[in-house]
Amino acid sequence: MADSSDGRVPGCCVLALSDSVENYLKALHAVAREAEPVTTSRVAARLGVSPPSVSAMMARLAAAGLVIRLGRRFELTEHGARHAQAIVRRHRLLETFLDRMLGVPWDEVHAEAELLEHALSDRLADRIASALGDPRHDPHGAPIPPRDGSYREDWPDPLSTAPVGSRFRVERVSGRHGTQLRYLGDLGIRPGVTLLVEERAPFGGPLWVSVDGRRHGLGEPLTHRIHGVVDTGHDQRGSTADDAMGPGSEAGQRGAGRRASYPDRSDRVLADALDRCVPPREGDQQMSVRPLAAPTDRTTP
């Protein structure tokens, strides 16, 4: 069964994929990928809405053939999963585009992508992916689903599990908490960096790590949001942010030095930026971005 071009699933599925519907699909996808049962309460917590609102939307999504109810939990159908992965793909490509091409700080790209993802067509998303060299991960280390949707959303082990004396290579950082991202970025802790785990304070105290000889104490909430693997391939100093963002590295290509101002948001910023960054191919028709609607029920992939 194929989707129609107007954003609706054909047949009995007549629910338009509005911004709110897309946000619910994305939330369902995120909770499921975290290996948690997709329940009304978890979706409500993810979106910051009331459980009755979730129940009403789940009934609409089920009637549209996008989810099925299995007792007290929900599951995306094949159609629902395909739509959810397309939304996640657009979101993470936009985060990468904003970070690399416009120099938007990594702690701000999530909120900006939330505003733009609903206005972006899959065709334009493919153009962005091509212009960026088909990146596999967004600025926070999350995998970008390929066009065919075949990908894994594995979360590596959290830093909190790393043994003292080990070297821990950061692969992914939760992108939902902007203030914490800004703090970690200031410490030089990003995907691609290797930390030396030096000391774990007792009774829930901080975990002490070093990067290039600089020692930092990280509280338990932060160590649960930094994910990676124990690495035996680095020296005892721990790698620096410059090592991870050197020439030729994916992080380096993001333009980490471009953290100053960037254009004010408007419904033309993406199209204007693409005009500058992506030369049109022969036979392409002029593309546009529809005006942005007010944000509703925001979530993160």
Q: Which domains does the chain possess?
A: 19-76 (1.10.10.10), 90-149+264-277 (1.10.10.10), 157-254 (2.30.30.90)
Whether the per-residue pLDDT at 170 is higher than 70: the answer is: yes
Dist CA 64 CA 238 (whole Å): 51
pLDDT of res. 185:
94
Query: Do 66 and 15 form a contact (C-beta atoms < 8 A)?
Result: yes
pLDDT tier, 95 (very low <50, low <70, confident <90, very high otherwise): very high
Q: Worst-scoring range by mean pLDDT, 40-54, 166-180, 245-259?
A: 245-259
**Which stretch of 106-120, 151-165, 169-183, 268-282 has the lowest confidence by average pLDDT?**
268-282
Mean pLDDT for all residues in the chain: 79
Instruction: Name the pLDDT band for 250 (thresholds 50, 70, 90).
Output: very low
What is the DSSP secondary structure assignment for residue 145, as one 8-state letter? P
Q: Which residue in the block uniquely carries the two structure tokens 């620096």?
A: 240
248 has pLDDT over 90: no
pLDDT tens figures, 208-241: 999 988 999 999 999 999 999 997 654 444 554 4
The pLDDT value given to residue 278 = 53
* pLDDT value of position 282: 52
Which pLDDT does position 288 carry in this prediction? Answer: 42
Query: Tens of pLDDT along 113-160?
Result: 999 999 999 999 999 999 999 999 999 999 999 988 777 777 899 999
Dihedral-angle region of residue 11 (phi above 0 means left; psi in -120 to 50 means alpha; beta otherwise): left
Which has more pLDDT, 76 or 259?
A: 76
Residue 167 contacts by C-beta under 8 Å, 6 or more apart in sequence? 194, 195, 196, 197, 230, 231, 232, 233, 234, 236, 238
Identify the pLDDT of residue 237: 44
Question: What sign has the CA pseudo-torsion 173, 175, 177, 181?
Answer: positive
Q: What pLDDT does residue 273 have?
A: 56
Half-sphere exposure of 5 (CA within 13 A, CB side): 1
Q: Which of 9-13, 165-169, 264-268, 288-292 has the highest mean pLDDT?
A: 165-169
165 pLDDT more than 50: yes
The proportion of the chain whose per-residue pLDDT surpasses 70, expressed as a percent, equals 71
Q: How confident is the model at residue 256 (pLDDT cuts 50, 70, 90)?
A: very low
Question: Quick check: 299 pLDDT over 70?
Answer: no
- Residue 147, pLDDT score: 87
Q: Distance between CA atoms of 127 and 209, rounded to whole angstroms?
A: 40
Q: Which two tokens stand for residue 217?
A: 């104490």
pLDDT given for residue 212 in this prediction: 84
Which H or E run contains 209? Answer: strand 207-211
